[in-house]
Structure 1
Amino acid sequence: MNRLTQLTGGIFAAILCVLFCTPIALAVSPQDFPPQPPDELVLDSAEVLSRSGRNEISSRLGELDRFHVDARLVTLRRLDYGLSLPAFGEELLGRWSSSTADSNKPLLLFLEESQSKQATVVASPALLEQLPESLLRSTGRTTMSQPLRDGDRFRQATLDGITRLEVVLDGGEDPGPPVQVERVALPTNVPTAEQTEESNAFTWVVVLLVVGTIVPMATWWIFSR
């Protein structure tokens, strides 16, 4: 009996752990990450990238080294309650910057959250003159977030963000956010509800006019004979 009670209690505890502990484990904060940047340039904790995608993004991030920039990508599943993605990025940036104080390379972090399909970009203060906060904010909210909302294209979102900032780092003008494609409805021969109602009303008017004309004439013709 005691063994059955222990087994039942163990199963009940496991169920509670699955129900309540798993969502907490999925939510992350900067303290859940290593105190210093890992060797990999892509930290795909949300597991939204394929191996080839990670390799391609890692290669593109590595190309920014020619500008003396330590660029990295971090993907997340879900943030801790009350923590925004920009706030998370700033905290992680401060955490990693303090551990690499002896390095002469400023950090440039691309961050993406899979649950809310949003992105943000943060940079060390040494980069803000060349990459102002308005540019970083626009890159995250428009250039990167649009592919995320349009089919969970995390690879494309990252590459688009890197490309935009790379142009500015290379001395070029900001290419700006992506062009918003306006969806135009194609013409159709199918009548709308309003058109149908108008058509039915016109038909009834014609029918009533015909009836109102023919019935009196037919009545007069019958009784006049």
Structure 2
Amino acid sequence: MSYIRSCLRQILLLFIITTISIGIFALPARATAVYEVPVVSAGVPTWIVDKADVMSLSTQGNIKGTLEKLAQQTGKEVRFVTIHRLDYGDTIQTFTDKLFKKWFATPAEQANQTLIVLDNVTNTIGIQTGTDVKATLTDAIATSTISETMGIPLRSGNKYNQAFSDATDRLGAVLSGQADPGPPKVISTPEVGRTYLKAEETDANRTNFLIIVIGLLIAATVIPMATWWWYQNQD
């Protein structure tokens, strides 16, 4: 009987560990809703809301200094927001549009604003600009800024600091009335193997982990019982 009790304790312990592991690895990360982003208003010197935690403190400091100077000299305000996972039913652009309207409720408040939002799970980016901004920051430049100036560093290895720094430099130049420096030049390099996992690969690894854990649980249940049955039959 003591042997059976020992086996049952082991099974119970493994079951608890398995349940906790499944809870940790199987549940998706919680999505970000617009109401969870801190409120910012026109004229308030909050230039970065990095909820996804993708920018270094050094990068944030440099960007804040540039955007603060831009706002003081031109009245044009640029803000960057990062989130980790979009809420169900949202695209990055609908999220950006809703946040823009939440932060800047009236046309007067919206006029000099530029808002860029990045979701670091998909590396998709949304942009929204006010009416007075569009005179210098045209839709073509705005689109190029998120798809090329930011998109190229992101596609070449999730270089978030470079993406936001380069976007700051380009937007700062354009909104100050200087010539558009354009997107970064792409230099072809030999293809190297990826050092990161795609989303589907991460999901596959998670599934494989669960299969292994469940297999271990079954083995931990069957093997002690089979061993006990063998000993019983030896008698």
Larger Rg: 1
Q: Deviations over 1:129-167 (max 9, x none)?
A: 221222111100110111112222111111111111222
Q: Are 1:57 and 1:155, in contact at CA under 8 Å, matched by a contact in 2? A: no
Mapped partners of 1:56, 1:83: distance in 2: 31
When residues 123 and 77 of structure 1 are mapped into structure 2, their CA distance, relative to the original with a 3 A threshold, is: same
Cα distance per residue 1:166-215 (max 9 Å; x no partner): 22222222222222222369xxxxxxxxxxxxxxxxxxxxxxxxxxxxxx
For residues 125 and 102 of structure 1, the distance between their equivalents in structure 2, rounded to whole angstroms, comes to 9
Note the C-alpha offset of 1:16: 8.4
CA distance in 1, matches of 2:22, 2:189: 47
**Which residue of the other structure, out of 76, 79, 82, is the alignment partner of 1:69?**
76
Assess if the C-alpha contact under 8 Å between 1:167 and 1:173 holds in 2. Answer: yes
Distance apart, 1:29 and its partner CA: 2.5
Aligned with 1:34: secondary structure?
Answer: coil
**Cα distance, 1:102 vs structure 2:** 6.7
Counterparts of 2:87 and 2:139, CA distance in 1: 24
In the alignment of these two chains, the number of paired residues is 177
Give TM-score scaled by structure 2 length: 0.63
- Deviation of 1:127 (Å): 1.2
Q: Please give the alpha-carbon distance, in whole angstroms, between the structure 2 residues aligned to 1:104 and 1:146.
A: 29
Task: State the match for 2:54 in structure 1.
Answer: 48
Residue deviations 1:70-123, cap 9 Å, x none? 22111111111332212211111111111x777587221122221112333321
Report if the CA contact (8 A) 1:120-1:141 is conserved: no
TM-score for the superposition, normalised by structure 1? 0.65
What runs of 5+ residues in structure 1 fail to find an aligned partner? Answer: 1-10, 186-225
Q: Which residue of 2 aligns with 1:89?
A: 96
In the alignment, structure 1 residue 23 sits paired with structure 2 residue 28: yes
| Structure 2, unpaired ranges of 5+ | 1-16, 192-235
Q: Which residue identity lines up with residue 28 of structure 2 in the other structure? A: P
Matched, 1:157 2:171: no
CA–CA distance in structure 1, aligned partners of residues 186 and 110 of structure 2:
38
Q: How far apart, CA to CA, are the structure 2 residues paired with 1:183 and 1:48?
A: 25
Is the 8 Å Cα contact of residues 117 and 148 (structure 1) preserved in structure 2? yes
Task: Tell me the amino acid that sits aligned with residue 168 of structure 2.
Answer: I
User: Mapping of 1:1-225 within 5 angstroms?
Assistant: 23=28, 25=30, 27-37=31-41, 40-65=46-71, 66-98=73-105, 106-183=112-189
RMSD: 3.3
Distance 1:181 1:175 in 2: 17
Q: How far off its partner does 1:49 sit?
A: 1.6
CA shift, 1:34, in A, is 3.2
Contact 2:40 2:46 in 1 (8 A): no
Task: Write out per-residue CA displacement over residues 54-82 of structure 1, whole angstroms, 9 at most, x where no aligned residue.
Answer: 21221122122111012211111111133
- By relative contact order (CA 8 Å, sep 6+), the higher-ranking structure is 2
Identity of aligned residues (%): 27
Asked if structure 2 preserves the Cα contact closer than 8 Å seen for 1:143 and 1:161, the reply is: yes
